[in-house]
Amino acid sequence: MNLFSKSKPLILSERLILRLPLLIDYKSWVILRRKSEDFLNKWEPEKDSNYYSKTNFNQRVKWAKKNFNSKKVIHLFIFLRSNNHLVGGITLDNIRYGPFKSATLGYWLGEEFSKKGIMTESLISLIRYANKDLGISRIEAATLPTNFASRRLLEKCNFKYEGVGQYFLQINGKWEHHILYANICDSRKIRLKN
């Protein structure tokens, strides 16, 4: 079930709530990210020294709301419905409309919540939301070749291999190749016959 509000997107799935970050999420976010640093740092770009600052987080909250309102980015936090615990985040960035109708996917999950199907459920819900509510019919993703869990997730969610992005993104200060995937909505695949 998807609910849409002008102030914040809210996507409900069987076990999860996906919504814009709020200022009240700061403490939970810091605790979860710090507990999962070793788990996440090997897959993510280096963080600047202000990454965990409250000022930086407040700017992130404003950025998420502003970009949602302008329909450029959908940056959501993932919470368990059972206890409202923050477990991760998922983002559609570089949203392009017109003839593109595409976006770029990013996601992270706290280590203690991995291997429980949470990101699969989040991603399936976000794909549905993007297709139905935003008209996005192509979602692109990139992952390190050695991130087998991420590759399995994308493939389970009908992302298809498209190639290798050479020196695609800096991870720990080093340019790394990434495996490129895309999820394409069935309606986009229909070709009109002349």
Confidence of residue 189 (pLDDT cuts 50, 70, 90): confident
Please tell me the distance from the alpha carbon of residue 143 to that of residue 145, in angstroms, as a whole number. Answer: 6
Neighbours of 156 (CB within 10 A): 13
pLDDT in tens, 18-30: 999 999 999 999 9
For residue 17, pLDDT over 80 is answered with: yes
pLDDT of residue 191: 59
For residue 54, pLDDT over 90 is answered with: yes
Please tell me the distance from the alpha carbon of residue 84 to that of residue 143, in angstroms, as a whole number. Answer: 29
For residue 5, pLDDT over 50 is answered with: no
Please give the helix or strand (H or E) that residue 128 lies within, else none: helix 118-129
Please tell me the distance from the alpha carbon of residue 126 to that of residue 112, in angstroms, as a whole number. Answer: 22
For residue 117, pLDDT over 60 is answered with: yes
pLDDT of residue 8: 58
For residue 180, pLDDT over 80 is answered with: yes
- Which comes out higher in pLDDT, residue 126 or 170? 126
pLDDT of residue 114: 93
Beta-carbon-side half-sphere exposure of residue 110 (alpha carbons within 13 Å) = 18
User: Each residue of 121-146: b (16+ CB within 10 Å) or e?
Assistant: bbbebbbebbbeebebbbbbbbbbee
pLDDT of residue 140: 97
pLDDT of residue 101: 93
Neighbours of 29 (CB within 10 A): 18
Please tell me the distance from the alpha carbon of residue 90 to that of residue 18, in angstroms, as a whole number. Answer: 8
For residue 51, pLDDT over 80 is answered with: yes
**Residue whose tokens read 């849409």:** 4
Please tell me the distance from the alpha carbon of residue 70 to that of residue 77, in angstroms, as a whole number. Answer: 19
Please tell me the distance from the alpha carbon of residue 194 to that of residue 192, in angstroms, as a whole number. Answer: 7
One-letter amino acid of 15: R
pLDDT of residue 45: 85
For residue 183, pLDDT over 50 is answered with: yes
Please tell me the distance from the alpha carbon of residue 141 to that of residue 106, in angstroms, as a whole number. Answer: 7
The whole-number average pLDDT for the span 172-190 is 88
The whole-number average pLDDT for the span 132-136 is 91
Residues 6+ apart with CB under 8 A from 61: 20, 21, 22, 23, 25
Please tell me the distance from the alpha carbon of residue 159 to that of residue 178, in angstroms, as a whole number. Answer: 14
**Token code pair at residue 51:** 């990454």
Confidence of residue 169 (pLDDT cuts 50, 70, 90): confident
Kindly report the average pLDDT of the chain as a whole number: 90
Ordered structural domains, the chain, with CATH = 2-138 (3.40.630.30)
